[in-house]
Structure formats: structure tokens, C-alpha cells
Structure 1
Amino acid sequence: MKTWFITGASRGFGSLFVKEAIERGDNVVATARDPKAILDRFGERPNLLAVKLDVTDEEQAKDAVAQAVSRFGRIDVVVNNAGFGVIGAIEEISGKEVEAVYRTNVFGLLAVTRAVLPQLRRQRAGHILNVSSIGGYRSWAAWGVYASTKFAVEAISEALAMELKPLGINVTIVEPGYFRTDFLDAQSLTTTESTIVDYAETVGEIRKLAVSLNHNQPGNPALLAKALLTIVDAPNPPLRIPFGSDTVAAIEAKHQQVSAELESWRALSVSTDFAASQS
């Protein structure tokens, strides 16, 4: 039996992660800004603790961890799932809009991670899963600021994995593509207040695509939630796990593009070293 600590657990992937974990008999600490939504869905259960948590509030994060340990004695799996998206051209997105998405997607993840690490270090065991996105591996027009938050999540996770491996704690980056959740709904994806006509052929088309894809995405979120159980049960879990054929294809395409560009410019790239006789 494992004890899970899941952020953003009231809907979307977070709610599905809760479902899979409690139904197999694990303990779950499900956190959300409105924990009542969790209880309304799952009811009172001995292996479920619904806790109020705004991930941008560090004191709330520490208190949520304390409640988790008080109730279940330990924490085995941390799922940093809380987050939201913003769509718009780099020029269109205001500083206020940028700060809001970073506050949750990056600073919130850091706050929860810092709050839970003392417990995991005491245990010398645990597994942190940071929910990124295909946008954390490859950016795209209209998604630049959102993708930048997920690039940050991946950089943080890579370093964290190195720091925690000697302590017996694993880190995995979860990279979903387009899954049929409510991510493209207004409650999870904001659009910029400002729009600029010059970006109609790029960003404007992506906005239209987001509307047409909403609830028509190719990925099955229930299957991703089940797959997550395989990851947390693995004796040697991966650092990075993409989910969805669209994600795998996008990663492969980026690898090919980077490899081709590197080869094309290799001579100039390596020409900046000191010569052996000068070093």
C-alpha cells in the first residue's frame, strides 16, 4: 500500500489519479482549492483525505503535508499536477498573465516539492511525479509562455532527480499530449485579453484549433491514469515518460530537426574552443 499526495485533484487528470489509487486500496491525500469537490465525487473513505491547498501558498503546502503524515504516517508518491494554460502570442501576453501562470505551474510546484521533501528525506524513499506536457519538450506558436513553464518544470525535475537519487527518492517527468480532459476549457486554459491582427495566421489559427480539439483530443485520460500506476510500481522508473502517440511523434520530430541542424552547423559550433596548443 502506498500513500499518494496529489495536487489539483478535484478534476481532470488529478481526479483520475485519485480514482485509480483509492480503488486499488492505496491511501490518497487529494488536495485542491475546494476539497469539497473531491468529497462530492468520491465520498468519505478511510483511505482518502481531502485537503484544502492553493499551491501558491507555501504555508498551506506545509500544513497539507503535516495533515498527510498525521493521517497516514508517510508519503510515498507525490503528484505535482496542479496547473493551467495560457494561449496567446508572446507579444500579446501581459506581464500579469505571465506571472499568474508561473505562480501556479512553476512556483507552486516548487512550494509543494519543498514542503514534502523533508518527509521523503526522513523516509529515504519516495517518488515525485511532475506533470509536464509535450509543451515541456517542444514549444509552439501561441503556446510559448505556457511551454516555458513546462520547460522550467523539466529543468527542475532533471536537477531534482540527480539530487535525490542518492537518498532513494525517484523523480519522473510526465509528458501528456492532447488528452480528452477539460484542459482546453476556460477553467483550465486562459486566452490573452489582448489580440494582435498580425498574428492571425499563426496564433489565431492555433486558437481556432484549440476550440475544435476541445473534447475531441485523441488521448484517453483514464488510460493515462492507469499507466501512472505502472510507473510508480516500477523498480527503476523512468526520468521522463511521454504519453500519447502525438507526443511520441512530436518528440521524434524534434530529435530529427535538432540532429539535422546540429550536423549542418557542427563545424561552426565547435570552432569556438581554444586550440589544443593554446589551452
Structure 2
Amino acid sequence: MTNKIYDAIIIGGSYSGLAAGMALGRALKNVLIIDSGLPCNAQTPHSHNFITQDGETPQAIASKAREQVAQYKTIEFYSGLAVDASKTETGFTITIQTGETFEAKKLIFATGVRDIMPEIRGAAACWGVSMIHCPYCHGYEVRNEKTGILANGEMGFEFSKLIHNWTKELTLFTNGKSTLSEEQSSKLKSKGISMDEREIDGFEHKNGYIELVQFKDGSTVQLKAMYAKLPFKQHSDLPEKLGCKISDLGFIEVDPFQKTTIPGIYACGDNVTPMRSVANAVGAGTLTGAMLSRELIDEEF
């Protein structure tokens, strides 16, 4: 362990973590950003709905952000995976997979989430490319195209209602018997939204771009894009280990200032909200850095 005690350690060096780091760097705080290099949008070819960066690749945005954050001399970076954390008299200790440890007065978890892929051949390769989660991030690029939704029940109905804004060539794939009510099914039919209850075997794709949906009965259907809301889990179990409350939906609970339920620990990005986008992550990270620096300033005054 080094003798240095950082003002803050940020675990996760993607958009939210980097934004928090920049805010803290501009507040003259000593910060260590620990990043394992596993962003959840690693496969996504382009980022959208982020003003000044619309259509840029996620990797290019992250690289430019890191380069800019690195200009602040009080910011340090460490490439590695944080595997343990504990409370100390002065703050917190973080242990890296190598066994190295670092200390800080405060922690920020910008660790994101890990999506759990369905047992459908090709789904993992298509996720973030043509199997997508957000119409505001990706819907414009597949507007008016032949589109599917992988969902059932209430989620299937509400998702169909939303995506119908971007395309009228829309099919709800329930991947088994529909659990929609008769009223919901009739409403979708009245809007020209088809429903397909066949069980899906896999996606035929080219470099992640879906070409055909293949069903277990051997039949196929052409498709340009498939929307899905996948289950997920926290990318890191350290917040929960430290006592941070996790909501029933699986997110780290934070207040309007991004504080978790444990004093001295903040969280921001995809691990705290279903609003998953680069723009939202950056905004939340900036707020987190500002609020944490204000807490440090108050304590030191």
C-alpha cells in the first residue's frame, strides 16, 4: 500500500467516471481513477443523442475524454480491476486484483452494469449493434425499417407503443406464448403491430447486424433491428459489500446529489439509473464530482 491518501478514488474510467474526475481535477483534488477497460458499450459502433459528439464512436469519445482529463495534474490513472474494498478510520481502502491497495477519503463507483444475454444464438454478437435497448440512442438509424421487439406481457405492450413512433413495420416477438391481455393484443393489432409467438433459436447476422431471425421450427423472418430490455447485474459487487443499498430494480440507490446510503460513497452512471446513455452518464459524473468536491471543501474549511 502506498502512503498517499487520495481525496477520492473513482472506480470505473468510462464516461461517468471520467466526467467526475474532470470536475474533481478542476477543483484541485487528488484523484485516482481505476479502470478495468470493460465498458458495457464496447460493441456499439456509434454513439448518438450526445450533442457535439453525435455519430462518434464510443471509443473515440472515451479516448478524447481521458486525454483531456489527464491534463489535470492532480488526476492519476491505474489500469486494473478493483476486487475488494473496506472502510478505514480515514476513509476507504481499495484492493486491486494484483494485491496492490490504495486509500482515499471518498469513493465514487462508476462501475456500470453487466447485461445478461438471453439464450439465443447470436444475441451476444448483435447486442449494441443491431439488437438495441434505446430508441433515443439508436432508433433514428433504423427508422422506418423492419424492426422487432423481444419482450412479452406489460413490457412488450409498453415497448411496442414506444417503438411504434420510429417505425410502423413492427413485430412483437414474445418468444413463446403471449402473456399480453386481450385488450393489449387488440390495441397492437389496431395499430398494425404484428405479434409472433414462435420460439426463437437464433439470429443470423453479419458482424453483429441481424439479417434473419431463425425460429426453433426452422422458419425464418427478415429483420433489420431488434429491441430488447435485458436483465442485468451490477458490474461490481463492491458497493453492496460496503453496505450501499441496492434497489429492487438492481440499481445502487443514490440521492439527488449522487450520494449512496453509505457516507463518503458516491455512485454515477449506468449502475444507478435505467437512463443508459453517454450524455446522461457524463451529466451524472459531472454532478458527482462537483458534489463530492463540495463535501471535501466543507470538511476541510
The answer to whether the superposition gives a TM-score over 0.5 is no
| The structure with more radius of gyration | 2
Task: Give the structure, 1 or 2, with the largest relative contact order (CA under 8 Å, sep 6 or more).
Answer: 2
- Which is richer in helix? 1
In proportion to residue count, which structure has more strand?
A: 2
> Could you state the TM-score of these two structures normalised by the residue count of structure 1?
0.29
